[in-house]
């Protein structure tokens, strides 16, 4: 089935406005890098997600799931197959007692603000994190000593085209890892178990974290956050700085002078620029300190 035929079939399951051909992906990423999606779909509910997956399975099409695309680098040539975008429609949030149930497209920053509004503690670390709940669970996102695995109670996901529920214990969380990375999974929603706290104390702590982010991170440039995982016994940013790489540029990609763990897009960066700079950083750090830096950034 060719692209036009797949598009026509999708029209039987999704509104026309929710299906786009050769749709540019760069605006949907925090890096502002990447070519077009062959087919770009925005499902509005679980049934539409399942319909897209059924077509994917039937035609053996490649597919990618995007939320806020805050931890990915999309190739300059774009992506073939179908991109399933959940960053606009899957945003429902419900609060009951000390639990928050939210769909995967909700940003972690918004969730932290919702927790604050209801006087719930446990999500303060998510203040300022641009990624979505779905992406955050996929990689067990965290900051400032907190991580999602500490507060998640249950997750609903589509795995191999079947809806499944996971408990915290069954998600096999590790540092920047989860069971979802080893499965063909699309996270739909999750329930977070928090605790009652003091509103003023929660707000003060979140304001402190926001100030620390602003002070230490290059938030005025497009980036994908920390490029590398923290190597055991070290900090990636310090290793990069101590290797003399602060401010090093390849094309439009640059090692941030504010935080060397970040690569920023100075305005004209391509995915090739970023990949070459990542490789150069890894090679240099390995030569100088014998430490292998593992990417946190995902290549699509």
Give the mean pLDDT of 32-50: 95
Catalytic choice (104, 178, 226, 243)? 226
Classify 105 in phi/psi space as left (phi over 0), alpha (psi -120 to 50) or beta. Answer: alpha
Task: Please compute, for residue 177, the number of CA atoms within 13 A of its CA located in the half-sphere on the CB side.
Answer: 9
**pLDDT over 90 (residue 160):** no
Range(s) within the chain of domains with CATH label 3.90.78.10:
218-299
pTM (two decimals): 0.90
Q: Average pLDDT, whole number, for the chain? A: 95
- Residue 143: both structure tokens together: 């900051």
The full length of the chain comes to 300
Range(s) within the chain of domains with CATH label 3.30.465.10:
93-200
pLDDT of amino acid 102: 97
Q: Give catalytic status of residue 96 as yes or no.
A: no
What's the CATH class of domain 3-85? alpha beta
Closest CA to 295 of 201, 227, 210: 227
Question: Per residue in 90-99, pLDDT tens?
Answer: 999 999 999 9
Name the architecture of domain 218-299.
Alpha-Beta Complex (3.90)
One-letter-per-residue 3-state SS of the chain: CCHHHHHHHHCCCCCHHHEEEEEECHHHCCCCCCCEEEEEECCCCHHHHHHHHHHHHHHCCCEEEECCCCCEECCCCCEEEEEEECCCCCCCEEEECCEEEEECCCEHHHHHHHHHHCCEECCHHHCCCCCEHHHHHHHCCEECCEEHHHCEEEEEEEECCEEEEEEHHHHCCECCECHHHHCCEEEEEEEEECEECCHHHHHHHHHHHHHHHHHHCCCCCCEEEECECCCCCCCHHHHHHHCCCCCCEECCEEECCCCCCEEEECCCCCHHHHHHHHHHHHHHHHHHHCCCCCECCEEC
- Give the CA distances from residue 78 to residues 23, 60, 166, in Å, rounded to whole numbers and listed in that order: 9, 19, 33
**CATH no. of 93-200:** 3.30.465.10
- Residue 176: both structure tokens together: 């920047």
Q: Give catalytic status of residue 176 as yes or no.
A: yes
Catalytic choice (107, 124, 176, 223)? 176
Q: Give catalytic status of residue 249 as yes or no.
A: no
Give the mean pLDDT of 108-136: 94
- Residue 238: both structure tokens together: 């310090």
Question: Per residue in 217-255, pLDDT tens?
Answer: 999 999 999 999 999 999 999 999 999 999 999 999 999
pLDDT of amino acid 197: 97
Strands 36-41 and 63-66: unpaired
Range(s) within the chain of domains with CATH label 3.30.43.10:
3-85
Question: Per residue in 165-202, pLDDT tens?
Answer: 999 999 999 988 999 988 878 999 999 999 999 999 99
């Amino acid at each position: 089935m060719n692209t036009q035929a797949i598009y026509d079939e999708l029209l039987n399951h999704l509104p026309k406005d929710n299906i786009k051909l050769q749709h540019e992906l760069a605006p949907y990423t925090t890096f502002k890098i990447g070519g077009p999606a062959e087919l770009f779909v925005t499902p509005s509910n679980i049934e539409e997600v399942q319909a897209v997956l059924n077509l994917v399975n039937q035609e053996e099409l490649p597919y990618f799931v995007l939320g806020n695309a805050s931890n990915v680098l999309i190739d300059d040539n774009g992506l073939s197959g179908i991109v399933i975008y959940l960053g606009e429609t899957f945003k429902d949030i419900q609060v009951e007692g000390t639990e928050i149930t939210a769909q995967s497209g909700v940003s972690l920053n918004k969730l932290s603000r919702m927790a604050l509004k209801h006087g719930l503690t446990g999500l303060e670390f998510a203040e300022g994190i641009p990624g979505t709940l779905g992406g955050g669970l996929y990689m067990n996102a965290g900051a400032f000593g907190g991580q999602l695995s500490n507060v998640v109670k249950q997750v609903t996901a589509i795995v191999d085209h079947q809806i499944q529920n996971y408990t915290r214990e069954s998600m096999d969380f590790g540092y920047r890892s989860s069971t979802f990375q080893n499965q063909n999974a699309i996270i739909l929603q999750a329930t977070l178990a928090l605790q009652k706290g003091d509103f003023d104390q929660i707000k003060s702590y979140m304001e402190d974290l926001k100030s620390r982010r602003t002070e230490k991170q290059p938030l005025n440039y497009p980036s994908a956050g920390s490029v590398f995982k923290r190597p055991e016994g070290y900090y990636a940013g310090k290793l990069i700085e101590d290797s003399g790489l602060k401010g090093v540029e390849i094309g439009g990609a640059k090692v941030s002078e504010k935080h060397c763990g970040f690569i920023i897009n100075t305005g004209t960066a391509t995915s090739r620029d970023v990949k070459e700079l990542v490789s150069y950083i890894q090679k240099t750090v390995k030569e100088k300190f014998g430490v292998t830096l593992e990417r946190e950034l995902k290549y699509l």
